[in-house]
A and B are shown apart, each in its own frame.
Chain A
Amino acid sequence: MKKVGVFLCHCGTNIAGVVDIPRLAEEVKKFPFVAHVEENKYCCSEPGQDAIIKAIKEQNLDRVVVASCSPRMHEGTFQKALQKAGLNPYMFEMANMREHCSWVHAKQPELATLKAMDLVRKAVAKVAKVEPLFEDYISITKKALVIGGGIAGIQTAIDIADAGHQVILVERESTIGGKMAMLDKTFPTLDCSA
Chain B
Amino acid sequence: MRYGYYPGCSLHSTAAEYEYSTRQVCEKLGITLEEIPDWNCCGASSAHSTSHLAGVAIPARNLALAEEKGLDVVAPCAACYQRLVTADYEMKHDPALKAKVEQVMDRKFNGTIGVKSTLEAVVESGLEKMTKALQKPLKGLKIACYYGCYLVKPPKIAHVDDPENPMIMDNIFRALGAETVDWPYKTECCSGSLVLSNTDITLKLARDIMQIAADSGANCIATPCPLCQPNLDMRVAQVNKKYGTNFDLPIFYFTELMALAFGVPKADLKFNKHFVEPTKLLADL
Q: Do chains A and B touch in the complex (CB under 8 A)?
A: no
Binding site for B on A (CB under 8 A): none
